[in-house]
Structure 1
Amino acid sequence: MSATLKWRLILIAAVVVVALFQAWPRPGKPILNMHLGLDLRGGSHLLLEVVTDDAVKAETDLTATRTGERLRDAGFPDARAASTSTTEFEVSGIPADRLQEALSVIQEELARWKPHIEGDVIKASMPPREEEAAREQAVLQALTTITNRIDQFGVAEPVIQRVGGGEGNRILLQLPGVEDPARVKRSIQTQARLELRLAYYKDGDGPFRGESPEDVLAQLGGTLPPGVEILPAVKREDPSAPPVIDSYWAVEKTAVITGNDLQSAFRQTTRWGENAVGFRLKVAAADRFARFTRKNIDRIMPIILDGKILSAPVIRSEISVNGQISGAFTYEEAEDLARNLRAGALPARVRTIEERTVGPSLGRDSIIAGARAIVLGFLLVVGFMLVYYKRAGLNAVIALVLNLLLVAALMSALDATLTLPGIAGFILTVGMAVDANVLIFERIREELRSGKTIKGALDGGFSKALSAIIDANVTTLIAAVFLFNYGTGPVKGFAATLSIGIVASMFTAIFVSRTLFDWSLSRQTTPRLSI
């Protein structure tokens, strides 16, 4: 036996050992050390709809608030701007003799909104193009935010995709193996829109707090001042009970800090042992927050989440980088809120259109059926190769077994997810792998018929079949790459398995098979080839 052949055999043995180690089942990965997909393991299937009207309304509200502030800065102290519909807002509180002047101020910044005077108010409407852009951006941002939240839950190989093409506002989620689907669903649908604002103060009086919105409005003289709104404050005595509205506060509409200003968020424990969420601000936001708190010492700064006041701490000193949100959270609620703040706020509400759970029993049935198909296909191929190619067929069978082992090991090393289409890819790999052996064996037969020696027939058979094997596998690999790039979850699983199978089959059919032939001949005194 030559030294080269020994090294080839050592290499093959090493590959087998490493592949066995990689594909050996482990806790949480009972089949070939791979995660199981939704169709095999069970999990949650959710079809969500982004309420894009919320995003359009939020853009209209923001524009109205900025317009009111701009007018008050321009010398219209009683100017109020409020949205009247999803895409329209109106400005009131302008003296009749100055309406045209106020209109000019608005037109400087909102010419596309076509502001115009109607009676004693100024009205403006969002342009259709900006409305479409707001809706599109809401869906894209929701898709990104949901993806970030799911990734932080550690769900293996989730399917998260937009449904309905470029104009669709629905998002499909497939979450395999989720242990607590209700918690994941709750986390996905929470907007997590964080705001730190100042409670409203008027001429040294304040804050204004009451048991109902009407009570607060009465304290303000019956009229809500410009740039102010009334929000509910929630509290919870028992962490196991849902929060209830405790009171209402008058707060300024402009937020000094939002969720976009956070550098990080994390669950922490207060000095009283309660669960809370700590956060750290970005540098620019920290400077702005320091100036704000320095200016408003001894005033109340409500912490608002999704339009509800969680807590209303008093600013005792300058605050710059770190902060804390308390609210009698449970451990999971604090973790989920911190996770959602890190992932970012949803731009709009998300509704569940369809929800179903795939049970693990159905997955087990699919696994059993797939395993039967692989075994049956393998046995049929083995039977054909042994009958038609005699002892050389045993060479192909060994290469085929190693090919399947390599495919499983490579998929496990790449942390791929095994799905039902992936099992179909395994089955197809059996046929693809033996196809190369068939080409080689037929070439060897032709070389033997032409009168060549056994070694010459092996050399000629492998070299002449090589180009055909490469052509067939490369064309199939190109198709698999396109399937992976442009397909969805199940199609990607099939394409990944097929691609790995193609690469493994070229190694086993060309390198392993030839090495086995050479090893068999090296053990014979009189070379013979049964093929």
Structure 2
Amino acid sequence: LYHILTISTRLGLDLRGGTRVILTAADETGEGVSEEKMEKAMLIIQDRVDQLGVSEPEINRVIGTGSIVVALPDVADPQKAIDIIGKTAQLEFRILEEFDEEDKPVFGSVLMRGDMLRDASAGYDPDGKIIVSMTFTPEGADRFYEITSQNVGRRLAIVLDGEMKSAPVIKTAIRGEAVIENIDSLEEAKNIALVLKTGALPVNLEVEEVRVISATLGLDSLQQGIRAGIIGIILVILFMLVYYAGLGGVVFAALVIYGVLFWGVLVGLRAALTLPGIAGMILTIGMAVDANIIIYERIKEEIRKGKTIRTSIAEGFKYGLRAILDA
């Protein structure tokens, strides 16, 4: 019991503070961005946010525009989250032809794209170097085998969002997987794996606005909400004790047990606490008290009819439960 009550839960954006980002689709063709692409982009962003482990995010479309609003509560590194969420993650496999006079790579045509990936994960190669390992779908594996078998001895560039990540020499035909090398840190490798795993955005999203929401107002609201809730619960308990005497004590014990179980569920689910959530908790407590009042009034009614206490309690719960379910 003590362990459950001392565990803190996460706070939502309105209480803890956080970051609100507006991403706008770049219309590069001049034909507008289709609803289908925007819906797909929103699903991919949702998947990326889930992979980041952000609790209670808010992701919404601005109807009639090409904008998506992402609210991230209690994020340790907002810039990192923004970079990951808005990254297009367009993966391409191309043959590296040569380097130009400015030492920039010159590629051949796109031979394969990231939509044939099945999974991506960060790790180390046998030499201890950081890599991102990529596995393909059956169709992708066949295509990769075809590419590598036809280009043995040439360099296959792995290009992510226009930037060449690595260009290993093809020594033999490969069917199973590919790796991205030359990565500076394991964290960077994990971020690359995350965006590859969730898929490429169908449109380029530009960060239009970033707003940091202060936690000061949120904490004040939290304290006021908790204070109001505690006062309300105390008043309800006092009323029950005065009006129902011993039965009021039963209500008090039931509310304590209910509160502990409710908090345990919140902690177990790692749910974020928001102002609407606090209001909902107080409402459910009120409904629990209301259910007890219905049952106790029925018990008193049965006692006035001259029935024994035991029979009255049984009848009170029996008929009171019907009224509660009907409500």
Match of 2:205 in 1: 350
Amino acid at match of 1:24: L
After TM superposition, the structure 1 = structure 2 runs for residues 204-353 of structure 1, keeping only pairs within 5 Å, are 207-211=97-101, 246-249=103-106, 251-253=107-109, 255-269=110-124, 274-353=129-208
2:76 corresponds to 1:179: yes
State the structure with more CA Rg: 1
Q: Secondary structure at the match of 2:156?
A: coil
State how far apart, in whole Å, the 2-side matches of 1:296 and 1:456 are.
88
Identity of aligned residues (%): 40
Deviations 1:205-257 (A, max 9, x none): xx353135xxxxxxxxxxxxxxxxxxxxxxxxxxxxxxxxx4141x333x222
Deviation at 1:282, TM superposition (A): 2.3
Match of 1:444 in 2: 299
State how far apart, in whole Å, the 2-side matches of 1:462 and 1:317 are.
77
Match of 2:5 in 1: 24
Match of 1:196 in 2: 93
Deviations 1:105-128 (A, max 9, x none): xxxxxxxxxxxxxxxxxxxxxxxx
Distance 1:464 1:301, change over 3 A: closer
Distance 1:379 1:287, change over 3 A: same
Match of 1:50 in 2: 25
Q: Secondary structure at the match of 2:175?
A: coil
Distance 1:467 1:320, change over 3 A: same
Q: Secondary structure at the match of 1:329?
A: coil
Q: TM-score, normalised by structure 2?
A: 0.89
Residues 197, 302 of structure 1: 8 Å contact kept: yes
Q: Secondary structure at the match of 1:24?
A: helix
State how far apart, in whole Å, the 2-side matches of 1:448 and 1:305 are.
78
Q: Secondary structure at the match of 1:139?
A: helix
2:20 corresponds to 1:41: no
Deviation at 1:353, TM superposition (A): 2.8
Deviations 1:358-409 (A, max 9, x none): 3444443233222211210011111211222233222222222222223223
State how far apart, in whole Å, the 2-side matches of 1:146 and 1:304 are.
21
State how far apart, in whole Å, the 2-side matches of 1:340 and 1:178 are.
18
Deviation at 1:328, TM superposition (A): 4.4
Deviations 1:87-118 (A, max 9, x none): 5xxxxxxxxxxxxxxxxxxxxxxxxxxxxxxx
Deviation at 1:161, TM superposition (A): 2.8
Q: TM-score, normalised by structure 1?
A: 0.57
Deviation at 1:272, TM superposition (A): 6.1
2:323 corresponds to 1:433: no
Residues 374, 426 of structure 1: 8 Å contact kept: no
Match of 1:137 in 2: 36
Residue ranges of structure 2 left out of the alignment (5+ in a row) = none
Residues 274, 329 of structure 1: 8 Å contact kept: no
Residues 22, 413 of structure 1: 8 Å contact kept: no
Amino acid at match of 2:77: D
Q: Secondary structure at the match of 1:196?
A: strand
Structure 1 stretches of 4+ moved >6 Å: none
Distance 1:416 1:268, change over 3 A: closer
Distance 1:455 1:192, change over 3 A: same
Distance 1:436 1:271, change over 3 A: closer
Deviation at 1:181, TM superposition (A): 0.8
Q: Secondary structure at the match of 2:122?
A: strand
Residues 50, 142 of structure 1: 8 Å contact kept: no
Amino acid at match of 1:36: L
State how far apart, in whole Å, the 1-side matches of 2:225 and 2:81 are.
30
State how far apart, in whole Å, the 2-side matches of 1:470 and 1:168 are.
45
Residues 189, 351 of structure 1: 8 Å contact kept: yes
State how far apart, in whole Å, the 1-side matches of 2:302 and 2:167 are.
89
